[in-house]
A and B are shown apart, each in its own frame.
Chain A
């Protein structure tokens, strides 16, 4: 069975945006990794502590005006491995 994310525990997320974001934005996104893909998108990835932090991050992204393509929880409970 697929592991479901626990909303109150950290999880590793990937957020895909349309457009390339310069690496200077790393500090703005609290040290998450920014990688620029060849298809013109940016993937923001890293450990996000809980749902509140995830929504805070999405709000920061909204404020850039960059189109949001998808949000995925790639590793629900990295701590409990």
Chain B
């Protein structure tokens, strides 16, 4: 939308002169501002907006920051809706919501992720803030209602939300009502009382009606303000007022229809024509009216209509943009359609051309469709694709495409291909094949002349079509699980797309990377991911760059290149946090990744620290996978601390939170859990895992299942089987695949297996190789986990019958500080309950009953000096 038009949506209508004062309602609104939400719910024409405008100016005078947003059907996309809400708030509170706006630009961010930073910033604003969402009934997207429900649930105490609507919104109203957090103003409250009607007719309108006249009007209109206003206009300057009132008092006709007729009768033919012809416009401005009516003087006419109170609502202070009152506009359109049915098409055509010439393509498309000129609409949609996709407006694009008939689409390859793209972007396969075939038919000239003529509006897009179709073909193949076809299409796409189409190049390279990864070719996969990240960075899709980084680091870890994996994470973190104070989504994932590498290097404190930082960014900062990945990482820290029970609990949660994306699941959470069970000696449960996952010694080996097969080897070893054959085969496979991370792990296991089988020399050889590889690569824990570490266990240094665990020593050190329980729990990243368990164990091992005694006893036996590890 053009910026000027956005401003008209943010314009709070000014209080008008001579309004009937409604103190009981403005008082209700003022009291309502103490609650979370005021809902003004009533049919059209009940004075909702006018009342709000009046009260809002009072609120502003009383020192509140006030923001206004007039909604329309174009706001039915979450990204559009929230960016407009933020724009409205920024009008009152400059600079608020910049982080949220940035997040809206990244793909697929859930409402909570976008709203959390906005809510925090609003809560930090000093003073009261009032946000009015006018005409909320225009919104019907469930995602927006969900986002609004979240927003309301977390609404800062200093923010008050006001919604005006013609129907009750799909928000948790009952809950708000029950908690006393909702103020409602409904039709029964809004309708004019007889006293207000009298004040309006005899005061504002300057008529001299008797009480009986007023009572008749009040009864006939049932206090409906729009009808009373129309009646007032009809009676101005009329001699026979009593006759007029009698004329419609006993009549069943639709009162607005009747009264508009009366009002129109009193206008000149020129004004009447102007009203009918411009009724098709959503918003009016002088030059637009001139273009539609083919007359001059539109601006003057609009000003005259406003002066005459003819239901024209100004949308700015400069008298540039207006709209008709909704009810009035509908009645005018009905008349236009009835009186001049063929005219509407031509009027829409003129409006379409004006908007296209003035840079408002979405409104031009709306008029082309409303006027039934679908070919023109299709041309405009085609031209609108690049800007719409850039603005993440896939939902809008889809609405347009769905409104166009197939008969038209199939001759338009650019549109057919874009349709396939919008389907794929939402993970839908149905219909993709047909659309792509419709596009391809015209690319390779296979279409014979008999079926019709191809139509292209955007010649540049048509030139890029072969590459774009190939990207979509690759995406389709990937969704179908066909790796070979994905590679073939993506490779073709990469060759076809132009060098400066960074988005398409990034997409093709990313698909090639994914296919190579799934096929186990790590070298090729990392090369393509690096290329994809470079292209996506150039295209400005930073969140996607971070997402690719996650995959690349996983691959580096499999290759045993810890330092390179760390570099990938650190670069991702710099990218996510270096955007001028705002933190991009995915920063949390980078901290979690860094934590796993620190742990591999046996820096437990550092690993824990990064998990705390990830946690502080909030769950919403993570990419979808972070919910389970962060728990797996924390479980690894717990395990390293000797808290196997805690590790298992976290892994159970991680299993529940696992999300499947296109990446291969090379470290299934169930197998990670089985490893902890093995370490805990719970071999029967680990064996259950092996049965359930179906891994067997005789399996053919593949990269995808390598982690599970190594887990099986660990289980067999723990069960006392001298199984070296599986490990030897795994070793060969890992060496051939260049997976040094796996090679080191397998060698350590092989050393134990060989020793157990009586082959001491073979064991030493394997361990020697493992150490030689692990040292330079930075691996410590992998080797240490198998008891090959040279560090004496902590217990050796403790003069206790039952030594404290590493974790308990951490707790003990903090017990010696000034921190209270909740702070210690926070510091250690555990729940208060877990902390209590640790404390109880420490007390019992030290033989004490209080924190003070524990600290004294620990100092006596030297547990509080120089025992820090990794700090």
Contacts and interface: CB of A to CB of B under 8 A. Distances in A.
A63 interface: yes
B260 to A, nearest CB: 11
Given A21-B257, A24-B334, A28-B334, A62 B43 contact: yes
A4 to B, nearest CB: 25
B685 to A, nearest CB: 49
Given A63-B326, A65-B226, A20 B252 contact: yes
B166 A19 contact: no
A19 B338 contact: no
Contacts of A63: 44, 166, 326-327, 330
B252 A24 contact: no
B226 A24 contact: no
Contacts of A27: 334, 337-338, 341
Contacts of B326: 63
B224 interface: yes
A22 B327 contact: no
Contacts of A40: 252
A64 B341 contact: no
Contacts of B44: 62-65
Nearest to B256: A65
A28 B333 contact: yes
A59 B320 CA distance: 30
Given A24-B334, A65-B45, A19 B255 contact: yes
Contacts of B345: none
What is the size category of the interface that chain B forms with chain A? 20 to 34
- Interface core residue of B45, B326, B334, B337 (most chain A CB under 10 Å): B334
B327 A19 contact: no
A33 to B, nearest CB: 15
What is the size category of the interface that chain A forms with chain B? 10 to 19
A26 B334 CA distance: 9
- Interface core residue of B224, B254, B326, B339 (most chain A CB under 10 Å): B254
A65 B327 contact: yes
Contacts of A28: 330, 333-334, 337-338
Contacts of B166: 62-63
Interface string A2-33: 00000000000000000111101111100000
Contact of A22 (B43, B224, B226, B254): B254
B449 to A, nearest CB: 36
Contacts of A26: 338
A42 to B, nearest CB: 8
A64 B256 contact: yes
22 contacts: A19-B252, A20-B252, A22-B253, A22-B254, A22-B257, A24-B338, A24-B339, A25-B334, A25-B338, A27-B334, A63-B166, A63-B330, A64-B44, A64-B254, A64-B256, A64-B330, A65-B43, A65-B44, A65-B224, A65-B226, A65-B327, A66-B254
Given A25-B338, A63-B166, A65-B256, 6 more contacts: A20-B252, A28-B333, A42-B254, A62-B166, A63-B44, A63-B326
Interface of B: 43-45, 166-167, 224, 226, 252-257, 326-327, 330, 333-335, 337-339, 341
